[in-house]
Amino acid sequence: MCPPVDETPVNGSNGHANGSNGHTNGTNGTTNGTNGSHEGYSAIRSQHNPHPHNASPYKPVGDFLSNVSRFKIIESTLREGEQFANAYFDLEAKIKIAKALDEFGVDYIELTSPAASEQSRLDCEAICKLGLKAKILTHVRCHLEDAKIAVETGVDGLDVVIGTSSYLREHSHGKDMTYIKNTAIEVIEFVKSKGKEIRFSSEDSFRSDLVDLLSIYSAVDKIGVNRVGIADTVGCASPRQVYDLVRTLRGVVSCDIECHFHNDTGCAIANAYCALEAGATHVDTSVLGIGERNGITPLGGLIARMIVADRDYVLSKYNLKKLKDIEDLVADLVEVNIPFSNYITGFCAFTHKAGIHAKAILNNPSTYEILNPADFGMSRYVHFASRLTGWNAIKSRCDQLGLKMTDAQYKACTVKIKALADVRKIAIDDTDSIIRAFHHNLHNEEERTLLDGLTAEEKKKFAAAEAELLGVKEKRALDEAADAQAEVPAAKKTRTAEVS
């Protein structure tokens, strides 16, 4: 579990090993990462963390059709996620995932069709008996026999789907639009007679004929379907296409609209957001986006986008501090690493390195963060062991270590750290050793070596790098300023202290 934002662990290196699979899973916020491969980071306290909720100056005028502030999540890790290449979820794993998603607060949990296998049917029945707050759905073909099996498992609703593009009609099920419409009506009426919630979705919607789509959606809407669904099955749609289709569909049906977006071309999150802006009501997600091929809209990615759009709504509905636990659980089960760039929980999500960034973040995190890590139980991190390190980051680290110096001395110490980082890659321990030795030499007659173990060649390169950073005149001026501000006369030793 990552430290809360107010904690300031001394050895705050990001990353941890990802459970039994042994893969290093570089998730942000772990205090003392067991893999030891993320040196030079520290969780920090900033001066304040306002993250103002001011409206974006580019925010469009409110649209009465938009559902950005009233969307629902249909979480499909236990259906779409089972189609992921590495996925194998036994009943125990499915129950863990279902409970975790329920604790997070998703509105629906979608399961694999009970008609797929006997074990899928048994799993479906078992999860329906857990008494979760989320509604339980199962995803079935638009086929009466599949629907009959599904309604007996105890699910709250059925998500019915059939391919409508010419590709799928010709090369998959081989049925024409008349057959599809008649079968859809038959299945929907049966499910409704059993008192179950029902969604009808076309498959490969964005390569389907628009007239065909609107005709069948209109027909199922008239007989009382709860939702119609559009699916970007191959991930070909762009946000503009999504907006146009959903907006058009919104003018044809009165029921809810569900959207399912694959991520083959990297547009899944943007497409989901545009769909909600255009009037969609429900979005399908999976944890880490796992699913067929490149997967679908990731749960964390959608939340990252939506909390910026309406923070109060998201915080009121979802337990965001559970997100990291869910992602760690699923990553372990499917034996993958959480990407360094993963939304919210990735190793780099709230990590700052450049000196200009670090200074601003320390003063006001909103300068370079649109998300507040505290909302997710995460910490922000500043990298202070590189050639990009700024003196404000070193000052912050000194505060953590309980070492006080003047601003000029912080700057002089920073020069030495930057110079060493030009010679070789340095770790958090190297930086701390330099800081401690530098501080010691300010206050004691006996000098300490700034860093042990350097070769003669490294010492030579360090001296050259330090001289290059400061120049002779600049270095002398900085040393004189440090002496002038020093609390003790021993500060003059900083002029002669060398790395050895």
Around Cβ 424, how many Cβ atoms within 10 Å? Answer: 12
CA-nearest of 24, 75, 69 to 298 is 75
Query: What pLDDT sits at residue 336?
Result: 93
CA quadruple 10, 11, 15, 21: dihedral, nearest 10: -130
Name the strand (E) or helix (H) holding 74: strand 72-75
Residue whose entry in the numeric block shows the structure tokens 């296409």: 241
Residues 76 and 134: their CA atoms lie apart, in Å, by: 12
Residues 395 and 368: their CA atoms lie apart, in Å, by: 19
Query: What pLDDT sits at residue 496?
Result: 43
Query: What pLDDT sits at residue 289?
Result: 97
CA-nearest of 479, 456, 455, 454 to 467 is 479
Q: Are 437 and 487 in contact (CB under 8 A)?
A: no
Query: What pLDDT sits at residue 25?
Result: 39
CA-nearest of 464, 478, 413, 474 to 441 is 413
Residues 277 and 292: their CA atoms lie apart, in Å, by: 26
Query: What pLDDT sits at residue 135?
Result: 98
Q: Are 151 and 194 in contact (CB under 8 A)?
A: yes
Both tokens of 491, joined, read 């500060």
Helices (H) and strands (E) in the chain, counts: 17, 13
Q: Tell me which CATH code domain 72-309 carries.
A: 3.20.20.70
Q: Are 2 and 379 in contact (CB under 8 A)?
A: yes
CA quadruple 215, 219, 221, 223: dihedral, nearest 10: 180
Write down the pTM of the prediction: 0.75
Q: Which amino acid is at 438?
A: F
CA distances from 471 to 211, 477, 496 (A): 73, 10, 15
Residues 180 and 103: their CA atoms lie apart, in Å, by: 38
Query: What residues does 351 pair with on adjacent strands?
Result: 381
Measured over the CA atoms of residue 211, residue 214, residue 218 and residue 224, the dihedral's sign is: positive
CA-nearest of 372, 342, 368 to 354 is 368
Residues 170 and 165: their CA atoms lie apart, in Å, by: 8
Q: Which amino acid is at 454?
A: L
Around Cβ 212, how many Cβ atoms within 10 Å? Answer: 18
* Secondary structure of residue 421 in the 3-state scheme: helix
Residue 285 phi, psi dihedral angles, 5° rounding: -135, 170
Residues 182 and 200: their CA atoms lie apart, in Å, by: 13
* Secondary structure of residue 333 in the 3-state scheme: helix
CA distances from 460 to 436, 438, 456 (A): 22, 19, 6
Query: What residues does 283 pair with on adjacent strands?
Result: 73, 259
Angle at alpha carbon of residue 8, lines to 7 and 12, rounded to 5°: 115
Local mean pLDDT, 10-residue blocks, the chain (500 residues)? 36 36 38 38 55 60 84 98 95 98 98 96 98 97 95 97 82 82 95 97 92 95 97 96 96 97 97 97 98 97 95 96 96 92 85 66 74 86 68 74 84 82 74 81 81 76 72 58 60 44
Query: What pLDDT sits at residue 23?
Result: 41
Q: Are 230 and 238 in contact (CB under 8 A)?
A: no
Residue ranges per structural domain of the chain: 72-309, 392-495
Say if strands 351-352 and 157-163 run parallel, antiparallel, or are unpaired. unpaired
Residues 185 and 169: their CA atoms lie apart, in Å, by: 18
**Residue from 262, 357, 383, 439 carrying the catalytic annotation:** 357
Q: Are 121 and 152 in contact (CB under 8 A)?
A: no
- Enumerate the H helices of 152-224 as residue ranges: 166-171, 177-193, 210-222
Q: Are 364 and 50 in contact (CB under 8 A)?
A: yes
Those residues with Cβ within 8 angstroms of residue 82's Cβ, 6 or more apart along the chain or in another chain: 89, 112
Catalytic residue list contains 357: yes
Residue 57 phi, psi dihedral angles, 5° rounding: -65, -15
